[in-house]
Amino acid sequence: MEYTKSQTYDRQFLLDNMMGPNAIKILEELTQLPEMFELKPQMRVLDLGCGRGLTSIFLAKEFGVQVFATDLWIAASENFARFKEAGLEQRIIPIHADVADLPYADEYFDAIISIDSYQYFGREEGVADEKIAPLLKKGGKLAIVVPGLIKDIHDNIPPEMLLSWNPEDIETLRSPEWWRKLLSRSQLLELEAVGELEGFYECWDDWLACNNEYAIGDRKAMEGGAGKYMDLVYIIAAKK
């Protein structure tokens, strides 16, 4: 796919701030899917697990929405500096918080978007209904992309994957079917679509090209062929 919007971003800025497969290309593809909801300027959007805020910048810049850029590992002050530098401090609010204890009112958001982070906090049954869905307005939308597996192979992990990751890391990777089953048990969300993005290799190639120590660690497995078992899973749901 052609990433016409992502291509306008400074490559070095992206490489310096990536925390996984190219998040803004992932977001660009997600926002162009036929099943994806429309993002409109008056919307209040929670970017959940935003990391260094690349996706928050993309959301504010490309769609004009108000973004609550929320993350656990990255300090709010660090993200605030980046948002100011991008001239977007009026539209992006940096928040340091854990999904276990989010500081937002119920029914506050029109949409929640979470790129490459839901796999860390959202694999337990109940997280969606207890921590996430309550924050959405009725009819509000949730869109998630996680690095995943084409099929769940946890009982027989391919050796290529073990070149970079241990079984605990691989626990976070799950198939579209696994995510569909988990989220279809939600009482508060109506699952609208689950599928795989087509930009898997391009988004991973960008990540492997950066000097982040985790990217360097991931190279062995990907160069060894682990990518053939993996995908990028998207999930779109609406608050009932």
Ligand X SMILES: C[S@@+](CC[C@H](N)C(=O)[O-])C[C@H]1O[C@@H](n2cnc3c(N)ncnc32)[C@H](O)[C@@H]1O
| Site of interaction with ligand X (CB under 6 A) | 18-20, 23, 49-51, 54-55, 71-74, 98-100, 115-117, 120-121
Q: Which is nearer to ligand X, 63 or 190 (CB)?
A: 63
Minimum gap (Å) between residue 99 Cβ and ligand X: 4
Look at residues 167, 175, 170, 179 and name the one whose alpha carbon lies nearest to residue 127.
179
Minimum gap (Å) between residue 92 Cβ and ligand X: 14
Q: Which is nearer to ligand X, 42 or 77 (CB)?
A: 77
Minimum gap (Å) between residue 200 Cβ and ligand X: 14
Q: Decide: helix, strand or coil at residue 109.
A: strand
Structure tokens given for 223? 């160069």
Q: Decide: helix, strand or coil at residue 50.
A: coil
Residue type, 111: A
Minimum gap (Å) between residue 68 Cβ and ligand X: 12
Minimum gap (Å) between residue 87 Cβ and ligand X: 20
In this structure, are residues 204 and 227 in contact, taking their beta carbons and an 8 Å threshold? Answer: yes
Minimum gap (Å) between residue 204 Cβ and ligand X: 12
Distance CA 139, CA 230 (A): 32
Identify the burial level of 162 via C-beta atoms within 10 angstroms of its C-beta, where 0-12 means exposed, 13-18 middle and 19 or more buried.
middle
Q: Cβ–Cβ contacts within 10 Å for residue 13, how many? A: 14
Q: Which residue is nearest to ligand X (CB)?
A: 51
Q: Which is nearer to ligand X, 71 or 231 (CB)?
A: 71
Reduce the secondary structure of 62-115 to three states and give it as a string. HHCCEEEEEECCCCHHHHHHHHHHCCCCCCEEEEECCHHHCCCCCCCEEEEEEE
